[in-house]
């Protein structure tokens, strides 16, 4: 899948670090789409992933297109590895302007089935990682004078899907965005959230049956699923000077799902039956 996004140099001269930037094989997950889009708009990009091979594959893709990128392995729930990723980025490219906190996991969990270890793993991956990466990058982002952090959340943090840990961690991630926006604003750093909705990613294609995907399409006011490039375009806007006066916002990229009341959703499903 190739993005048809126009290239306007909106990230020219910028240095970006994208966590969760790897994807399996030639697949385009959200992190890879973000890294490619920022690079195509002129950014030099550090592609960070827990899987080095996947990170390097994304970086190689960027370099093949004529961009500049490096691939690094790192566990962003560990402070030292976050610090190391930022330090390597600064050492390689000379600074850091843009941080994209994209890593996340989803584990089904009910109250009765509460699992403390999985709760902690979910919050470490979805929330603590963003804290640690923002902390690690704050000094360089301040020095940039045009720093931007974009946290990738989920509409599960806005409306309820019935997963105790995932939705709660994603709701907390946007509150973290707001706290950071306040704390870092006078240092010239903007902090925003993108909340993906029903996205047609490679992982979704593997995990969800077609009947479930059809229901997702029907319940959206636009009648379609989104894809990884839709998220990348939203991130590009928030990371660029186009959004220079935007901070502390949560941007749902969801085809309108989060505006629906329950009865409206039922009606849409019935209309398309």
Catalytic: which of 61, 93, 123, 166? Answer: 166
Instruction: Show Cβ contacts of residue 149 under 8 Å, excluding neighbours closer than 6 positions.
Output: 98, 99, 100, 101, 134, 137, 141, 177, 180, 184, 189, 190, 191, 192
| The total number of residues written for the chain in this structure | 273
Coil, strand or helix at 262: helix
Whose CA is closest to 97, among 211, 200, 204, 241? 241
Instruction: Show Cβ contacts of residue 143 under 8 Å, excluding neighbours closer than 6 positions.
Output: 95
Task: Retrieve residue 137's tokens.
Answer: 């990058």
- Cα separation, 130 vs 133, in Å, equals 5
Asked about 166 being catalytic, the answer comes back as yes
Reported as half-sphere exposure (CB side, CA atoms, 13 A), residue 8 has a value of 9
- Cα separation, 60 vs 84, in Å, equals 21
What residues act catalytically?
166
């Amino acid at each position: 899948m190739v993005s048809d996004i126009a290239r306007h140099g909106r990230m020219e001269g910028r240095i970006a670090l994208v966590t969760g930037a790897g994807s399996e094989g030639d697949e385009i997950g959200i992190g890879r789409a973000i890294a490619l889009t920022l690079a195509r708009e002129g950014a030099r990009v550090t592609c960070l992933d827990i899987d080095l091979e996947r990170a390097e594959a994304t970086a190689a893709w960027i370099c093949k297109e004529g961009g500049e990128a490096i691939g690094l392995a790192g566990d962003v729930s560990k402070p030292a590895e976050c610090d190391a990723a930022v330090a390597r980025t600064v050492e390689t490219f000379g600074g850091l302007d843009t941080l994209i906190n994209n890593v996340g996991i989803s584990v089904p969990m009910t109250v009765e089935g509460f699992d403390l270890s999985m709760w902690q793993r979910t919050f470490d991956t979805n929330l603590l990682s963003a804290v640690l990466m923002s902390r690690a990058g704050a000094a360089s982002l301040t020095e940039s004078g045009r720093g931007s952090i974009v946290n990738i959340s989920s509409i599960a943090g806005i409306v309820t899907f019935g997963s105790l840990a995932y939705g709660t961690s994603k709701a907390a991630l946007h509150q973290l965005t707001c706290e950071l926006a306040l704390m870092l604003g006078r240092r010239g750093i903007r902090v925003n959230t993108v909340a993906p909705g029903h996205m047609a990613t490679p992982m979704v294609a593997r995990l969800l049956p077609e009947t479930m995907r059809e229901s997702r399409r029907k319940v959206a006011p636009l009648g379609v699923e989104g894809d990884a490039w839709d998220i990348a375009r939203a991130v590009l806007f928030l990371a660029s000077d186009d959004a220079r006066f935007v901070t502390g916002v949560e941007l749902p990229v969801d085809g309108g799902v989060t505006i629906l009341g329950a009865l409206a959703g039922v009606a849409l499903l019935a209309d398309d039956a």
